[in-house]
């Protein structure tokens, strides 16, 4: 898994019984150009050399073609770390894809991001990770749950890994947010209708 994020360093750790390894070898021979890894654990780092996340998944398939890509279709979890090496959020999903040439990363199906302490929970069916800006984004229906409010963005959202702030597109739901935190948007263009929550609120 080279360059899970453009500037990352990584390591794989494999485990499994002999029967599992034989199955993997048989599958790899049957599907030429497919590399299979079991029980992976991947570390990735930011440009400052700090640990930014740990990805774990029971099985990963790497397709070695003109455009190499990797698929995790048996579930995955990513623990995101802050600069103090404390977990700031945990992402889980049933499926994930990574395209090496473009560095595009997407997780799908029952995607949940939980900030530490469980104060903010994000739910959606598709979520992209922007490694350059260190942000999530999606154009799919997304819901954020906090102790004070539940917000649903019909056209998605953007947010950092710790969910300390967020910007929804075309929102609905019950909210207790000061009016100063709302971005003005033209009533004639629902796609530009946004709700922005600032850090510290």
By the 10 Å C-beta count (0-12 exposed, 13-18 middle, 19+ buried), 47 is classed as: exposed
- Say if CB 64 and CB 34 are below 8 A apart: yes
What average pLDDT does range 113-142 have in this prediction? 92
Flag whether pLDDT at 136 surpasses 90.
yes
With a pLDDT cut of 70, the percent of the chain lying above it is 69
Q: Residue 117: what pLDDT?
A: 80
pLDDT of residue 101: 76
DSSP bridge partners of 72: 96
Q: Are 113 and 88 in contact (CB under 8 A)?
A: no
Phi-psi region of 162 (alpha: psi -120 to 50; beta: other; left: phi over 0): alpha
Q: Taking residues 160-176, what's their average pLDDT?
A: 79
Band of residue 26 on the pLDDT scale cut at 50, 70, 90: low
The answer to whether 140 touches 152, Cβ cutoff 8 Å, is no
Confidence of residue 78 (pLDDT cuts 50, 70, 90): very high
Instruction: Report d(CA 82, CA 89) in Å as an integer.
Output: 9
* Predicted pLDDT at 133: 84
Q: What is the mean pLDDT of residues 28-47?
A: 78
Average pLDDT over residues 60-89: 91
Task: Please report the domains of the chain, with CATH numbers, ordered by start residue.
Answer: 18-197 (2.60.450)
- Sign of the Cα torsion 17, 20, 106, 133 reads positive
Is residue 23 scored above 60 in pLDDT?
Answer: no
Report how far residue 36's alpha carbon sits from residue 28's, in angstroms, rounded to the nearest whole number: 7
Contact (CB, 8 A) for 201 and 119: no
* Mean per-residue pLDDT, 159-179: 76
Going by C-alpha positions, the residue among 16, 94, 11 that lies closest to residue 54 is 11
More confident residue, 83 or 123: 123
């Amino acid at each position: 898994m080279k360059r899970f994020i453009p500037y990352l360093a990584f390591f794989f750790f494999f485990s499994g019984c002999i029967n599992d390894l034989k199955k993997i070898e048989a599958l790899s021979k049957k599907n030429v150009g497919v590399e299979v890894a079991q029980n992976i654990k991947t570390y990735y780092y930011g440009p400052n050399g700090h640990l930014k996340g740990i990805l774990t998944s029971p099985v990963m398939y790497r397709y070695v073609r003109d455009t190499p890509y990797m698929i995790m279709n048996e579930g995955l979890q990513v623990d995101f770390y802050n600069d103090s090496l404390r977990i700031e959020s945990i992402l889980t999903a049933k499926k994930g894809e990574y395209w090496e040439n473009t560095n595009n990363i997407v997780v799908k199906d029952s995607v949940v991001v939980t900030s530490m302490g469980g104060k903010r929970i994000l739910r959606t069916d598709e979520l992209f990770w922007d490694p350059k800006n260190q942000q999530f984004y999606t154009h799919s229906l997304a819901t954020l749950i906090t102790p004070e409010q539940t917000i649903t963005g019909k056209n998605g959202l953007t947010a950092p890994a710790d969910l300390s702030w967020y910007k929804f597109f075309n929102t609905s739901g019950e909210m207790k947010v000061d009016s100063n935190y709302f971005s003005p948007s033209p009533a004639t263009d629902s796609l530009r209708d946004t709700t922005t929550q600032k850090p510290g609120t």
